[in-house]
Amino acid sequence: MGIGILSTGSYLPKHEVDNEEVAARVGVTAEWIERKTQIRSRRYAAPHEATSDLAAKAAERALAQAGLTAGDIDYLIVSTSTGDHPQPPTSYLVQHLLGAYGAACFDVNVVCSGFVYALSLAHSLVTVRPDTRVLVIGADVYSRILDFTDRRTAILFADGAGAAVVGAVPEPYGVIATDLSSRGDAHHLIRVEAGGSRHPASAETVAEGGHFFRMDGRGVRDFVAEHVPPALIALARGAGVDIGAIDHFVPHQANGVMLTEVVERAGLGAARTHRTLVEYGNVGSASVPVALDEANRTGALTPGDLVLLAGFGGGMSIGASLLTWGART
């Protein structure tokens, strides 16, 4: 048996925010936003919705597609950098919403690479016990931590959740290889500076905007250009796969212009690159599973296809996984 993805699911909030609305708040034009990012619209969570709510809805759809109930799940992993609260872990709130009380739960926070990291952890858990089923969710609500005076971030980020059930699949399907890497020397490129133990919440940190998401856009673009394509090439080479033979590329939806550069530098021009950022923007850790679910549900993926998942972002971090798509047992 192999270990692979049994099913997928996603949830995007109903409230659609187009470039005209964001442009008016940020002080640019809608044309400028699309030219710089290729994003046309995005979704923002309703006032009553938090990360756990989005995550649970995506999870329900993944479970339904697999023909499973919440009681069939052994582990529940939530990847998020915008949890409902500092404590408890958001995965426990999702467990409660689903009623998945037989599952051991934990969160991972590797920002936009988190879903691939969580997928790797799920793979390890199934390796130890092959009858295990793991629910992996990537979910973020970035609209709550955006500074709309900062056009570098406010035009990009949005809210959403994606999920996958991981378990045993018949050979030759499943994960072929995974590679994870971290560069803490670049931690300053993406950050939320206040609200933790170094700068606890106070009237001063709130007044200074310390709880807003910050990003050095140029630094991130340079990091991605230098490190991501070589990491993808090395993963394929190590797996004995010609990168030109990859059928589908499902990347983190960081920025449309950046994605084009990654595809060209990595030699992935022959693959179909799945892009959801045009409609949904950058939904953080949810980017990869949302794009994967859309590809799956539209019938773009067929058994035997080579699929490359790639996340990259805050930390800085890179996570990539190569798998042969296939049906569950």
For the annotated catalytic residues, the residue numbers are 112, 252, 282
Comparing CA positions, the residue from 22, 23, 80 lying closest to residue 56 is 80
d(CA 129, CA 147): 45
d(CA 249, CA 320): 10
C-alpha pair distances (Å), 97 with each of 12, 166, 288: 17, 20, 23
137 near 161, Cβ under 8 Å? yes
d(CA 275, CA 264): 15
Sequence letter at residue 296: N
For residue 200, say if its preceding peptide bond is cis, omega within 30 degrees of 0: no
- Residue 87: exposed, middle, or buried by beta-carbon count in 10 A (0-12, 13-18, 19+)? exposed
